[in-house]
Chains A and B, each alone.
Chain A
Amino acid sequence: MNFRQKHILGLEELSSEEIKFVLDTAESMKEVSERDVKKVPALKGVTVVNLFFEPSTRTRASFEIAEKRLSADVLNFTPSESSVVKGETLLDTARNLEAMGASVIVIRHSMSGAPWLLARELRSSIINAGDGSHEHPSQALLDLFTVREIKREIAGLKVVIVGDISHSRVARSNVWGLIKLGAEVRVVGPPTMIPRDIEKTDVKVYYNLDSALEGADVVIMLRIQKERQESGLFPSLREYSRFYGLTRERLKRAKEDVVVMHPGPINRGVELSSEVADDVHSVILNQVSNGIAIRMAMLYLVASGGGNG
Chain B
Amino acid sequence: MSTKVIMDSETMSRTISRIAHEILERNKGAKELRIIGIRTRGIHIAQRIADKIEELEGIKPPLGTLDITLYRDDFRRRSDMPKVQKTEIPFSVEDKNVVLVDDVLYTGRTTRAAIDAIMDYGRPASIQLVVLVDRGHRELPIQADYVGIKVMTLKNENVEVHLKETDGVDEVIVV
**Interface residues in B102-155 (C-beta closer than 8 Å to A):** 116-117, 120-122
Q: Does B86 have its Cβ within 8 Å of any Cβ on chain A?
A: yes
Q: Does B165 have its Cβ within 8 Å of any Cβ on chain A?
A: no
Residues of B within 8 A of A301 (CB): 81
B70 touches A24 (CB 8 A): no
C-alpha spacing A300/B83, complex, angstroms: 11
Q: Does B26 have its Cβ within 8 Å of any Cβ on chain A?
A: no
B86 touches A40 (CB 8 A): no
Q: Which of B3-11, B49-57, B72-80, B156-164 contacts A (4 or more CB under 8 A)?
A: B72-80
Q: Does B87 have its Cβ within 8 Å of any Cβ on chain A?
A: yes
Determine which of B67, B71, B77 lies in contact with A309 in the assembled complex, contact meaning CB atoms within 8 Å. Answer: B77
Instruction: List 7 A-B residue pairs with CB atoms under 8 Å apart, sorted by A's residue number.
Output: A24-B83, A25-B84, A29-B84, A31-B86, A41-B71, A42-B70, A303-B76
Q: Does B85 have its Cβ within 8 Å of any Cβ on chain A?
A: yes
Q: Does A236 have its Cβ within 8 Å of any Cβ on chain B?
A: no
C-alpha spacing A305/B84, complex, angstroms: 13
Q: Does A36 have its Cβ within 8 Å of any Cβ on chain B?
A: yes
A25 touches B83 (CB 8 A): yes
Q: How far is the CB of B167 from chain A (nearest CB, A)?
A: 22
Residues of B within 8 A of A32 (CB): 70
A35 touches B76 (CB 8 A): no
**Interface residues in A261-309 (C-beta closer than 8 Å to B):** 300-301, 303-305, 308-309
Residues of A within 8 A of B32 (CB): none
Residues of A within 8 A of B75 (CB): 42, 304, 309
Q: Does B22 have its Cβ within 8 Å of any Cβ on chain A?
A: no
CB-based nearest B residue for A309: B76
Q: How far is the CB of B19 from chain A (nearest CB, A)?
A: 28
B81 touches A4 (CB 8 A): yes
Determine which of A27, A37, A41 lies in contact with B70 in the assembled complex, contact meaning CB atoms within 8 Å. Answer: A41
A27 touches B83 (CB 8 A): no
A35 touches B83 (CB 8 A): no
Residues of A within 8 A of B70 (CB): 28, 32, 40-42, 70, 300
Residues of A within 8 A of B78 (CB): 304, 309
C-alpha spacing A249/B10, complex, angstroms: 66
C-alpha spacing A262/B24, complex, angstroms: 54
C-alpha spacing A36/B75, complex, angstroms: 24
C-alpha spacing A75/B117, complex, angstroms: 26
Q: How far is the CB of B67 from chain A (nearest CB, A)?
A: 6
Q: How far is the CB of B91 from chain A (nearest CB, A)?
A: 12
**Interface residues in A1-53 (C-beta closer than 8 Å to B):** 2-4, 21, 24-25, 27-29, 31-32, 35-37, 39-42
A41 touches B84 (CB 8 A): no
Also in contact, A28 and B86, with CB within 8 A (given A3-B81, A305-B81): yes
C-alpha spacing A27/B116, complex, angstroms: 21
Residues of A within 8 A of B116 (CB): 41
A308 touches B84 (CB 8 A): no
CB-based nearest B residue for A41: B71
Q: Does B95 have its Cβ within 8 Å of any Cβ on chain A?
A: no
Q: How far is the CB of A293 from chain B (nearest CB, A)?
A: 11
Also in contact, A28 and B121, with CB within 8 A (given A304-B75, A304-B76): no
Q: How far is the CB of A307 from chain B (nearest CB, A)?
A: 10
C-alpha spacing A8/B71, complex, angstroms: 23
Residues of A within 8 A of B80 (CB): 2
Given contacts A2-B80, A31-B88, 17 further A-B contacts (CB under 8 A): A3-B81, A24-B83, A28-B67, A28-B84, A28-B85, A28-B87, A31-B86, A31-B87, A32-B70, A35-B120, A40-B117, A41-B70, A41-B71, A41-B116, A300-B84, A301-B81, A309-B76
